Structure 1
Amino acid sequence: MDSHSTLQNITGTIALAGAGKMGGAMLTGWLAGGFDARHVVVIEPMPSPEINALIARGIRLNPNDAGAIETLVIAVKPQSFREAGAALKAHVAPATLVVSIMAGITIKSLQEVCGGAVVRAMPNTPAAIGRGITVAVPANNVSPAQRATADALLRATGAVEWVQDESLMDAVTAVSGSGPAYIFLLAEELARAGVAAGLPEELATKLARETVAGSGELLHRSDLPSSTLRQNVTSPGGTTAAALEVLMGQDGLRELMTRAIAAATARSKELAK
């Protein structure tokens, strides 16, 4: 396989450890992309009704003997990794591709606990609708074919970017991994401010949600920089300019966002210890 591998030409069994929101979103993306459910093993002690329903399509849920596994995708909670990882090690051979989407868990830790050829990845929650962005970094022993397999699996839920420097992953986690929460907070606070300005709560909430969602879609479809899109909305001396004087002023959004990303980056580093 080359760098343009797709789900359809991945061979062998894929085991998914952890089928919560993110793991479940990945599994949905694989099946929607044409991967054969009969080649998927799911290891999940508390499967949701949606995961149980996939048994009818051929996935194997918590089998006593999973057989040979070519690829293991780990989507358990980071705080559960040490315990879960020890059990998963039985499924990992030296040539097994191990793809982790756990925040803060380093390649070194994954190699120590599970072994295999490790790809560390950080997706985000828009993966649930196929609009995620994932950043991945491979260990030195990951082959080009294994990287292509990991790329195809991760790309099933959105865009993928690759880096070679693992130290970037803490900032990646802060910007895109945690980023959706910042956008949801923006919608929340925009609605709250609308109520404070006199709008009925239901209308303010509707306006805020649709404005954030529509602006995000415009940003997605446009080739223009976000700064240009902002300027296109802003008439000199107008209402938008008045608001931006506050948001872009001293102690405004730039300062707040810089501090927020720094705090999230520091926390990601703490989780890795």
Structure 2
Amino acid sequence: MIVKQKLLLVGCGKMGSALLTGWLSRDIDELDVIVVEPAGGNVLEKNFNVPVVNSLDKLNVEFRPNIVVFAVKPQAMDQIVPNYGHFVGPETMFLSIAAGKPTDYFQNRLGNSASVVRSMPNTPAAVGRGITVAYRNHAVSDDQKLIATKLLGAVGEVNWVEDEGLIDGVTALSGSGPAYVFLMIECLAQAGIRVGLDPILAEQLARVTVAGSGELARQSTDSASVLRQNVTSPGGTTAAALDVLMAKNGLQELISEAVLAAEKRSRELSG
């Protein structure tokens, strides 16, 4: 007999909704979900067919979750997290997807014995193509780690790190990375307009080129460097463009500086 895991999803914005969609679409039968969301409860109940309460005190007193997922914005954590301290116990895991909140942040507010998983997903989770990197504290059991992997894996790939400090670098690369890619799409579309293309066509070409290239990179066993070289003929149009992008102070250096800036900011937020 399969014992259902009782899950409390605290916050159901974009990332929380993406996770919930993934869990429901994967038909995780052994999962019993209740959402805590102050706004839009009726819409959530209609869209997802799960129980929604607008505050913790509206929860049935007999409901004791095995998993509490914090999917609220980092700036809201101080007000929300301490309210869940009474759930701390060996059978309950706390899973956070908030940037800049290390595991000791939760232990300081929930208790040192709290089982805490810190994770960094990214927005492609909304279409099931995200990637998440996670870290578990000392109290998380191997079985709880497997459960967390299954939950996070419902929206994409999952990796674990043994050093929590690496999450700052992960945040800078894959957590913030979609924004860098979207900026690339913007820049390509604007460049297309400059060379005379219709704005709608330029936008379509930019979006599909980036999406298709990403899918090719995902499926290929070749390195990104080899894939780039495969597109580049000596003396051709691509080579002319890459001469600009790969020049000193070009795209490579800009991206490196951008990731370092994001990593630094993540460390600052983590305290």
**Which TM-score band applies after superposition, normalised by the shorter structure?**
over 0.9
Q: Is the 8 A contact 2:5 2:32 kept in 1?
A: yes
SS in structure 2 opposite 1:159? Answer: strand
CA distance in 1, matches of 2:30, 2:86: 22
Counterpart residue type for residue 152 of structure 1: K
SS in structure 2 opposite 1:19? Answer: coil
Which one of the candidate residues 51, 61, 72 is aligned to 1:59?
Answer: 51
- CA gap of 1:205–1:60, structure 2 versus 1, over 3 A, is closer
> How far did 1:9 drift?
5.9
Q: Is the 8 A contact 2:134 2:159 kept in 1?
A: yes
Asked if 1:27 is matched to 2:25, the reply is no
Partner of 1:219: 217
SS in structure 2 opposite 1:190? Answer: helix
Partner of 1:41: 34
> How far did 1:140 drift?
1.2
CA distance in 2, matches of 1:134, 1:262: 19
Partner of 1:181: 179
Structure-2-length-normalised TM-score: 0.92
For 1:177-256, list aligned pairs within 5 A: 177-256=175-254
Q: Which gives a bigger RCO, structure 1 or 2 (Cα 8 Å, sep 6+)?
A: 1
Which one of the candidate residues 74, 77, 84 is aligned to 2:70?
Answer: 74
Runs of 4+ in structure 1 off by over 4 angstroms are none
SS in structure 1 opposite 2:204? Answer: helix
> How far did 1:54 drift?
4.6
Structure-1-length-normalised TM-score: 0.92
Q: Is the 8 A contact 2:121 2:175 kept in 1?
A: yes
- CA gap of 1:257–1:223, structure 2 versus 1, over 3 A, is same
Partner of 1:84: 80
Give a deviation string over 1:97-147, Cα, whole Å, max 9, x none. Answer: 111110010010011113420110000000011100000011011111010
SS in structure 2 opposite 1:229? Answer: helix
- CA gap of 1:208–1:36, structure 2 versus 1, over 3 A, is same
CA distance in 1, matches of 2:161, 2:3: 22
Structure 1 unpaired stretches of 5+: 1-7
Q: Is the 8 A contact 1:125 1:132 kept in 2?
A: yes
Deviates more, 1:107-116 or 1:23-32: 107-116
Structure 2 unpaired stretches of 5+: none
Give a deviation string over 1:141-174, Cα, whole Å, max 9, x none. Answer: 1111010011100000000001000000001000
> How far did 1:40 drift?
0.6
CA distance in 1, matches of 2:171, 2:105: 17
Partner of 1:101: 97
CA distance in 1, matches of 2:178, 2:94: 26
> How far did 1:207 drift?
1.0
Partner of 1:159: 157
> How far did 1:85 drift?
0.6
Q: Share of identical aligned residues, percent? A: 49
